[in-house]
Amino acid sequence: NAGVTQTPKFQVLKTGQSMTLQCAQDMNHNSMYWYRQDPGMGLRLIYYSASEGTTDKGEVPNGYNVSRLNKREFSLRLESAAPSQTSVYFCASSEGWEDEQFFGPGTRLTVL
Amino acid sequence: DAKTTQPTSMDCAEGRAANLPCNHSTISGNEYVYWYRQIHSQGPQYIIHGLKNNETNEMASLIITEDRKSSTLILPHATLRDTAVYYCIVRVGGGATNKLIFGTGTLLAVQP
């Protein structure tokens, strides 16, 4: 099992550009999450999907959109990237809402 | 959500027990204590969680005080690979509103 995979691993964007971060899990988990981590800080929840077909905002959703494409995949889209969105983005999944979360390796995004 | 307070950093000698404290004085009766760790540049990794009773698994032990206002994560025989940031998190059990709220954690440095 690959667990949680994220693509790309690194990305550099110019202000105003758009992109989609991809996340997939092969553990048949119901819940999936997107976090961002800024230097020296803990993770902050952007969006989550408690189950297939549902998505909800987390702590810092502004500037982002998500799509739960199917049970395996949960993508994060930046429509118009801003320098404040420079961060490391982590995707996670869990079997159920209260279960332990498994994290992907992260995507390091720089917005110039 | 209840907040947690952890020391910014701690040192531990290799082979000795590492005891990481966490204060959560405003914890509610239905809030669980979770511990995750993050090794440099990687996604966080689940360690253990508990509600009232002490818990032990293959990675660590979790000691929760009787009044539940504080807890201690114990790594019984720390190795260099245990050097990481350790996050103590409280979350409400049940329902779609419970989420992990990461603080800044404790940087544990295991010294040879």
Q: Which residue has the tokens 């819940």?
A: A31
Q: What is the mean pLDDT of each run of 10 residues along chain B (112 residues)?
A: 86 97 89 92 93 94 95 96 94 62 90 95
Distance CA B37, CA B28 (A): 23
Q: What is the pLDDT of residues A21-78, one digit of tens each?
A: 999 999 999 999 999 999 888 889 999 998 888 999 988 999 999 999 899 999 999 9
Contacts of B42 in chain A (CB under 8 A): 103, 105-106
pLDDT of res. B17: 97
pLDDT of res. B95: 54
pLDDT of res. B27: 87
Contacts of A40 in chain B (CB under 8 A): 104
Is residue A101 predicted with pLDDT exceeding 80? yes
pLDDT of res. B98: 59
- Determine if residue A20 is left, alpha or beta; phi over 0 gives left, psi from -120 to 50 gives alpha, anything else beta: beta
Closest CA to A5 of A91, A87, A109: A91
Please name the residues in contact with B100: beta carbons below 8 A apart, sequence gap of 6 or more. Answer: A43, A45, A101, B34, B36, B89, B91
3-state secondary structure of B32: strand
Say if the Cβ atoms of A98 and B105 lie within 8 Å: no
pLDDT of res. B2: 56
Phi/psi for A69 (5° steps) reads -65, -40
3-state secondary structure of B48: strand
Please name the residues in contact with A64: beta carbons below 8 A apart, sequence gap of 6 or more. Answer: A34, A46, A47, A76, A77, A78
Is residue A96 predicted with pLDDT exceeding 80? yes
pLDDT of res. B1: 53
Residue A47 touches partner B, C-beta closer than 8 Å: no
